[in-house]
Structure 1
Amino acid sequence: MIKTISDEYVYKKEVDWSLFNYGFAIPIEHQVVFSQVAGRFIQRGESKVVNLYLNGKSYKAKLNNNRIDKKFGPHTDIVQIRYTQNSDLAQALRGCFQRSYAYISKMKQLQEKGSKKHIPLPDNYKEYLAVYTTEYDDTYVLETIGSLDMEVLRDTISGQSERIMEAQFNFDVEDDTAGLKEKEQIVKIRKLNKKIGDNLKRLYGYRCQICGRLIGEKYGSHVAEAHHIDYSVKSLNNDASNQIIVCPNHHSIIHDVDPVFDRGRLIYIYSNGFEEKLVLNQHL
């Protein structure tokens, strides 16, 4: 039995055509887990074989660290998990996500031959693959989050306060109102969501992205919280691209005033006209 190290998390990947056929890339904001948890981080140009466990069965894949052209920005490395279209892993993933695979395959048939245009899944079809590190630096555990799991989450959190939901993600607050089956699905998703925020906290050294402060530093402590830009109770979007790391003061102010976030300028605009730009950003 492969056990995870403190349930460490690497990446939550939305299901797409590439996942079913070739593999997926791990964005820069998630690579911190590799360097801090999974042993020696592979250097640029290196590749190694890794074991991926899905539903208790082991599959082989390659972990690559590739150089990318500087014209794509300052992130000069791209980490990928790769496998072949006919591999056992690709076939197993298609079996786990039959609904979304059938939808994407149908849309592919309607595209022009040779088209590589991305096919987005409708909200009620969206499914995810979570990747967790283990006690071995060449072994990862894959966990599926299907459309049914997302439906249960949507029904359970309907009408809840965003502040309460974020407390669950930040501090492992449990929901005692959910039934047993619902609780199993919600705990799985909440664990994943918490790890997404935890990874971002590591990425920013527990500093607030708005003021840059490390709260509690003089006490030998650090207090940082993950905030959802588009409130998760409505969007169900807990990806890193929808989260920022803030100090408790800024988190409370944002929920009290509900300012508008300008993604283009990375600025919060308050109702009194005050504007506040993120002073730290490595992932948005």
Structure 2
Amino acid sequence: MKKRVDWSLLEYGITIPIECHQNFFIANGEYLPRGHSREIDLVWNGQVIKTRLNNVDRKVSSDTLQIKYSQGTPASDFFKAVFQRTYINALRQRETGHLEGKERPQTRIPDEEAEYLYIFSTNLPYVYEIECETQVEKFYKDENPDADMKTRVTQAKSSFEQENNLLTEEEINQFRILRFKDFASRIEKPKQIARAINVYYSSAKLKEDIKQHYDYTCQICSTQIKKTGWTSHLPRIQAFRFLDADAHHVKPLSAGGPDSPFNILCLCPNCHRRLHTGQFDIVFDWSSPLCLDVFDKTKYRINFREGHKLVNY
């Protein structure tokens, strides 16, 4: 089976075309019932990558056969390393799409830059041999015939970044600051739906922008919560998914507060809880906003970065 590499293959898994289902069942020596899954081995140059083969029960007439994995698993990490050019190209398109305000930006790899995964059956059930047709190998194998794959991937990544002028962190920050100003200039009344209670909706993208602007660091206590998988070697943008923080509206939406960047703070869960329970309060009585501990009257400085501030709405 030949599969063109796309974002889904790098992140989530491989949907097997219907015309190839029979070949898989024959190679495995049995039919995989709907709703069932089996562990499989993908073998590449003697390296074994373990993942799962699922027959997803979608309540439709035909089977949905998938080789399934998720972000951060050995299979996903392997494909990102091997198909580095597609990964960087797709990542760049997605980051640009997010900066343009798209919730789920699409990625399109030009035909001349396409990479392919080949899957072959073996004499063993649920064991498949794979081959990778990559731009990296095509580009470097003539100049570096003895270099291993890791070396080729490293060289290709560096070359690709230089050739394609990827967005710098400073450029990303400037885009974000422009969006802050845009949001503040067209403050809209938050959506409100009448139920047993009133539910106020705020922009998920705006809150995520605030958290990323501060690297998920609390503006009051400077705490940065790191989740499993975080390492100091991760690029800043990729590290965000391993960090955690809350976005807090200083003047609640329910009290008429706007869904504006200048009404939102990036906080750790502890400081966020203290604000909601009344232990902390944001006061505007001084030259710059401060966080006041209502019980012991301690004043905490609120940290701000370029392009962001609080307004006393």
Q: Larger relative contact order (C-alpha < 8 A, sep ≥ 6)?
A: 1
Provide the TM-score with structure 2 as the length reference. Answer: 0.41
Provide the TM-score with structure 1 as the length reference. Answer: 0.45
